[in-house]
């Protein structure tokens, strides 16, 4: 079998010598020509604590690769720690994807095993791998175990918001709040709610890029290492089968991912990531597909942030395959996985072991879940809402806008006792889109004004051109497109304008005459941040990032360039 890596290693000339000699370092002479070279793209980093254990996972992948006759090559790639990276990890997702793509293409490799976990790491790995189109398979790093505080489980992320709101409402002391900090992160692994990391691991499996049954395995569980070992072997087999992303990631795969996203009650962030991955593959996926395919799918998983349980419970209850078996009739049976077999073949033996955590189809958590796509004069390009995480009584609502021009403006004024806001008001936050912030931060689930919290208000309609943490909840209209900084009508809203939300009708509107809206110009504060001088990646990003409705990728990164490299400088 002719391998891509042979282009580097075969031949008795000076180039072959150079490529082999520098890689020898104890490696036997027969480790090069004709031996599959498997990169292990590893996002392990001390500054990405959710992924720090992936070095151990990589060792198991190495064993599997060796066993199958391949040569494992660990390749550290850009890693993004969601809680650390400023100004927001999403600003760097496309940079990480671009670096993964270029490193895979530039090096003598034949296939890649992708190790990710924390929110942006699996999306960036998949985006890069899709554009290079070498055989690629994901090993998700897995969620952490459930921590407890005062005898009760703590959902990381979700309970930080909940406890901090309790402090603001005066029902939890500051001292108790700080004491809960050391109980939040019990073990290695990523956040244990159905946040973005858990969602993207499960979605990667629903897409077919993970060996079925592996996603959701807790990070400290020895079965994760067993799966990593098996995935190393599989990566070698995928080369012989020429099983590249473009050969098995089809519209059918994305259809199944959308069904899975709805059934697990997954994060809204999956929408931008799936759109971006599809864009790399040339798969015709649109924002409306999420509503068309997913909005009538029942939510079967009772996990935080909207529900009760955590990922350790989810895995114990049967995991993704048990969920998918319940909605099997909604899946596209033609979609294949990295194994070469259809995804639905993995559902034969996938029982639910705990029907409180994973509900049967006959007793869903929410009858119709998924993500609703709204349009209207406030979001002509679309906006999202996750009805299952919203308050039912707010899904149809009319209220006065209280407008904030940036997240800093919001923080400066939200607790002003003189702020004219009540429970019916609609909080509008702009300047948080891909270009405006820049990087589309997770700020759409704005904290409520303290004075309303003290009155017992726990949810309000909120509208924003940014994203929302997958661990957050509430009646939040987000990903408003076009964003304010790109000239969207969100920039024209003024405090006091009546805003009308009607989720059933899929509408989000400012109820003012069209000619009045057309006559307005954005105020200077809305555009002030966007106009700041920039350099480096930030400049490249702001100049080229697309809107949320197509995945917020850079315009010049859409599509695939394949793995060919035509020139050699030696
Ligand atoms: Fe890494 Fe939540 S901070 S997954």
- pLDDT digit string (tens) for 373-385? 999 999 999 999 9
**How far, in Å, from the CA of 123 to the mean position of ligand 1?**
13
What does the pLDDT average to over 514-523? 90
- Here the CATH number for the domain that contains residue 281 is 3.40.50.2300
Residue 78 Cβ inside 6 Å of ligand 1? The answer reads no
Is residue 400 located within the same domain as residue 501? yes
Q: Would you say residue 564 lies in a domain?
A: no
Residue 166 lies in a domain: yes
Instruction: Kindly report the CATH number assigned to the domain that includes residue 402.
Output: 3.50.30.80
Mean pLDDT confidence for 297-302: 96
| Domain assignment of residue 568, yes or no | no
Residues 6+ apart with CB under 8 A from 29: 20
Are residues 51 and 84 located together in one domain of the fold? yes
| CA 551 to ligand 1 centroid distance, Å | 20
Q: What digits encode the pLDDT tens for the residues 227-271?
A: 999 999 999 999 999 999 999 999 999 999 999 999 999 999 999
- Give the span between the Cα atoms of 119 and 199, in whole angstroms: 9
Look at residues 166, 116, 158 and name the one whose alpha carbon lies nearest to residue 136.
116
Nearest to 90 by CA among 305, 282, 265, 272: 272
What does pLDDT average to over the chain?
95
CA distance 338 to 353: 26
The preferred substitution site among 44, 46, 191 for testing ligand 1, maximizing ligand atoms within 8 Å of CB, is 191
Residues 193-227 have pLDDT tens digits of: 999 999 999 999 999 999 999 999 999 999 999 99
- If you ran DSSP here, which 8-state letter would residue 379 be given? E
Say how far apart CA 201 and CA 190 lie, in whole Å: 10
Residue nearest to atom 3 of ligand 1 (CA): 82
With 0-12 CB in 10 A as exposed, 13-18 as middle and 19+ as buried, what is 363? exposed
Which range (164-178, 363-377, 418-432) has the least confidence? Answer: 164-178
- pLDDT value of position 120: 98
458 and 319 in one domain? no
Per-residue pLDDT of 119-162, as tens digits, reads 999 999 999 999 999 999 999 999 999 999 889 999 988 888 88
Name the band, by pLDDT with cuts 50, 70 and 90, for residue 459: very high
pLDDT at 529: 63
**Measuring from atom 1 of ligand 1, which residue has the nearest CA?**
118
Q: According to the model, what pLDDT value does residue 175 have?
A: 93
Asked whether residue 219 falls in the same domain as residue 171, the answer is no
Using a 6 Å cutoff on CB, does residue 553 contact ligand 1?
Answer: no
For ligand 1, whether the C-beta of 82 sits within 6 Å is yes
pLDDT of residue 50: 98
Q: Is the CB of 191 under 6 A from ligand 1?
A: yes
- Within 433-523, where are the H helices? 450-453, 514-519
| CB of 83 sitting under 6 A from ligand 1 | yes
pTM value? 0.97
Cα distances from 282 to residues 87, 98, 136, 560, in angstroms, run: 30, 17, 17, 8
Task: Please give the pLDDT value at position 315.
Answer: 98
Q: Is residue 303 included in any domain, yes or no?
A: yes
215, 92: one domain: yes
Q: Do 80 and 215 fall within a single domain?
A: yes
Q: With bands split at pLDDT 50, 70 and 90, how would you rate the model's confidence at 306?
A: confident
Proportion of the chain above pLDDT 70, given as a percent = 99
DSSP-derived secondary structure for 519-566? H----HHHHHTTTS---HHHHHHHHHB--GGGTS-BGGGSS---S---
Whole-angstrom Cα distance, residue 570 to residue 565? Answer: 14
pLDDT at 528: 65
- Domain span at residue 172? 148-182
Examine the domain organization and report whether 172 and 296 are in the same domain.
Answer: no
Ligand 1 pocket: which of 44, 82, 200, 267 to mutate (most atoms within 8 A of CB):
82
Q: 472 in ligand 1 pocket by Cβ < 6 Å?
A: no
Q: Residue 190: CB within 6 Å of ligand 1?
A: yes
Same domain flag for 191 and 173 = no
User: Is the preceding peptide bond at 305 cis, omega within 30 degrees of 0?
Assistant: yes
Q: Clarify whether residues 313 and 419 are in a common domain.
A: no
How far apart CA 156 and CA 189 sit, in angstroms, is 11
Q: Atom 2 in ligand 1: which residue has the minimum CA distance? A: 191
* Per-residue pLDDT reduced to its tens digit, 21-43: 999 998 899 999 999 999 999 99
Cβ atoms 347, 325 nearer than 8 A: yes
Q: Is 136 within a domain?
A: yes
197 lines ligand 1 (CB under 6 A): yes
Q: What is the pLDDT of residue 530?
A: 67
Q: Which atom of ligand 1 is nearest to the CA of 81?
A: 1
Q: What 3-state DSSP class applies to 149? A: strand
- Evaluate: CB of 397 within 6 angstroms of ligand 1: no
Same domain, 297 and 423: no
| Range 383-406 average pLDDT | 94
User: Is residue 384 within 8 Å of 477, Cβ to Cβ?
Assistant: yes
Compute the distance between CA of residue 467 and CA of residue 23 in angstroms, rounded to an integer: 44
Report the alpha-carbon distance of residue 150 to residue 156 in Å, rounded. Answer: 15
Q: Is the CB of 160 under 6 A from ligand 1?
A: no
Q: What is the pLDDT of residue 496?
A: 98
191 Cα: distance to centroid of ligand 1 (angstroms): 5
Distance, in Å, from the CA atom of 318 to the CA atom of 310, rounded to the nearest integer, reads 13
- Expressed in angstroms and rounded, the spacing between residue 185 Cα and the centre of ligand 1 is 10
Residue 157 exposure: Cα atoms within 13 Å on the Cβ side: 31
The mean per-residue pLDDT over the stretch 337-346 comes to 98
How many domains, the chain?
3
* pLDDT at 44 (0 to 100): 98
Q: What is the pLDDT of residue 64?
A: 98
pLDDT value at residue 437 = 94
Q: Is residue 116 domain-shared with residue 237, that is, in the same domain? A: yes
Report the distance separating Cα 319 and Cα 217, nearest Å: 8
Biggest CA–CA distance in the chain, Å, is 80
pLDDT in tens, 533-562: 789 999 999 999 999 999 999 999 988 889
- % of residues, the chain, pLDDT over 90: 85
Question: In three state form, how does the secondary structure of 69-137 look?
Answer: CCEEEEEECCCCCCCCCCCCHHHHHHHHHHHHHHHHHHCCCCEEEEEECCCCHHHHHHHHHHHHCCCEE
For residue 83, the CA-to-ligand 1 centroid distance in Å is 7
């Amino acid at each position: 079998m002719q391998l891509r890596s042979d282009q580097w290693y075969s031949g008795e000339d000076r180039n072959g010598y150079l490529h082999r000699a520098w890689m020898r370092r104890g490696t036997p002479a027969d480790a090069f020509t004709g031996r599959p070279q498997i990169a292990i793209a590893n996002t392990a980093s001390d500054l990405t604590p959710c992924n720090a254990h992936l070095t151990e996972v990589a060792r198991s992948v190495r064993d599997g690769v060796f066993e199958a006759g391949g040569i494992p090559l660990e390749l550290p790639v850009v890693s993004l720690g969601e809680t650390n990276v400023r100004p927001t990890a999403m600003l760097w997702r496309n940079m990480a994807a671009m670096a993964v793509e270029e490193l895979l293409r530039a090096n003598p490799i034949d296939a890649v095993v992708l190790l990710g976990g924390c929110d942006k790491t699996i999306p960036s790995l998949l985006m890069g791998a899709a554009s290079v189109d070498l055989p690629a398979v994901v090993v998700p790093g897995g969620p952490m175990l459930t921590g407890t505080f005062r005898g009760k489980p703590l959902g990381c992320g979700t309970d930080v918001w909940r406890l901090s709101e309790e402090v603001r409402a005066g029902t939890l002391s500051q001292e108790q709040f700080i004491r809960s900090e050391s109980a939040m992160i019990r073990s290695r692994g990523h956040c244990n709610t159905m946040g973005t990391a858990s969602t993207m691991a499960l979605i990667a499996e629903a897409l077919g890029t993970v060996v079925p049954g592996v996603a959701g395995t807790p990070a400290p569980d020895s079965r994760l290492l067993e799966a990593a070992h098996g995935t190393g072997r599989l990566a070698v087999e995928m080369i012989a089968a020429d099983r590249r992303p473009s050969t098995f990631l089809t519209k059918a795969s994305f259809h199944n991912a959308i069904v899975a996203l709805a059934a697990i009650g997954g994060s809204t962030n999956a929408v931008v990531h799936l759109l971006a991955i599809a864009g790399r593959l040339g798969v015709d996926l649109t924002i409306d597909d999420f509503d068309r395919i997913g909005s009538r799918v029942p939510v079967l998983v009772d996990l935080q942030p909207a529900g009760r349980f955590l990922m350790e419970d989810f895995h114990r209850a049967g995991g993704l395959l048990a969920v998918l078996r319940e909605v099997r009739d909604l899946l596209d049976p033609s979609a294949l996985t990295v194994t070469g077999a259809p995804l639905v073949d993995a559902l034969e033996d996938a029982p639910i072991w705990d029907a409180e955590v994973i509900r049967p189809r006959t007793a869903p958590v929410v009858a119709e879940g998924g993500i609703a796509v709204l349009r209207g004069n406030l979001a002509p390009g679309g906006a999202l809402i996750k009805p299952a995480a919203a308050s039912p009584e707010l899904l149809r609502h009319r209220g006065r806008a209280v407008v904030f021009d940036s997240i800093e403006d919001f923080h400066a004024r939200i607790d002003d006792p003189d702020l004219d806001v009540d429970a019916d008001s609609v909080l509008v936050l702009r300047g948080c889109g891909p270009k405006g912030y820049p990087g589309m931060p997770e700020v759409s689930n704005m904290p409520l004004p303290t004075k309303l919290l003290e009155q017992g208000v726990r949810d309000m309609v909120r509208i924003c051109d940014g994203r929302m943490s997958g661990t957050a909840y509430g009646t939040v209209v987000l990903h408003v497109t076009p964003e304010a900084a790109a000239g969207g009508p969100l920039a024209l809203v003024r405090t006091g304008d009546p805003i009308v939300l009607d989720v059933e009708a899929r509408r989000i509107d400012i109820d003012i005459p069209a000619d009045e809206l057309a006559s307005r110009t954005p105020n200077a504060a809305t555009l002030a941040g966007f106009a700041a001088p920039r350099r480096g990646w930030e400049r490249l990003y702001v100049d080229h990032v697309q809107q949320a409705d197509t995945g917020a990728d850079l315009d010049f990164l859409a599509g695939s360039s394949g793995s060919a490299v035509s020139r050699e400088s030696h």
